[in-house]
Amino acid sequence: MEFFIDTAIVDEIRQASALGLVDGVTTNPSLIAKSGRDFKEVIREIASIVNGPISAEVIALDAEGMLAEGRDLAAIHPNIVIKVPMTEEGLKAVRQFSAEGIRTNVTLIFSPLQALLAAKAGASYVSPFVGRLDDVGHEGLEGVEQIRTIFDNYGFNTKIIVASVRHPLHILNAALMAADICTIPFSVMQQLAKHPLTDIGIAKFLADWQKMQQS
């Protein structure tokens, strides 16, 4: 399973990359706003750090507008993937991007049928938002399992990015159901390596070692 980092904060991307945990990056308008920086400038800087797919999202709601913005963003670097919302206009744009060889990530997917439509339109990636479904009392990962089955049934090459990840259990279950990628906030990435028994174990090994030195 690949790990993408879900942030536009360059310092977080640098830290996670140093751990070898970044296969790609996803951003969205909220994350860009949180970074407080110019959109294209941030995308350019991320592309200089990470050698993998970097999702940059369009703002336009009509296909023509999405195509204009997306072509502009794609020209920044070959690793840029255009993030397009899951709407009818978005599907039109995805089909055209695909014809032009521009990769797309269809975002704000909340049902397996939306993922099927995106794959049929030629999306390179789909992003089912599991955390936001959990937030409203639906089991977000159930949809991911169904998308996996549908894509395997028909041989779609579209990759599944499990998005809106809130905690390590999302990642464990996504891996068990063979999702291709999880896009993970930096705070959750940091939780993955930690286990209290590891810390207790290290403390005990050191204490025993020191006792031996003193005896």
Give the shortest CB-203-to-ligand E4P separation in angstroms.
Answer: 34
Under DSSP, the state recorded for 37 is S
Cβ distance 146 to 177 under 8 Å?
no
Residue 79: left (phi > 0), alpha (psi -120 to 50), or beta? alpha
Nearer Cβ to ligand E4P (136/197): 136
Nearer Cβ to ligand E4P (65/131): 131
Cβ distance 144 to 130 under 8 Å?
yes
**83, 92, 120, 211: which is the annotated catalytic residue?**
83
Beta partners for residue 81, in sequence order: 55
Q: Which residue has the tokens 């949180």?
A: 34
Give the shortest CB-90-to-ligand E4P separation in angstroms.
Answer: 14
Q: Point out which residues bind ligand E4P (CB under 6 A).
A: 6, 26, 28, 107, 127, 129, 131-132, 163-164, 183
Give the shortest CB-205-to-ligand E4P separation in angstroms.
Answer: 38
Nearer Cβ to ligand E4P (91/163): 163
Nearer Cβ to ligand E4P (96/127): 127
Cβ distance 92 to 63 under 8 Å?
yes
* Helix, strand, coil share of the chain (percent; to 5): 55, 20, 30
> Is 34 designated active site?
no
Give the shortest CB-6-to-ligand E4P separation in angstroms.
Answer: 5
Enzyme catalytic residues:
83
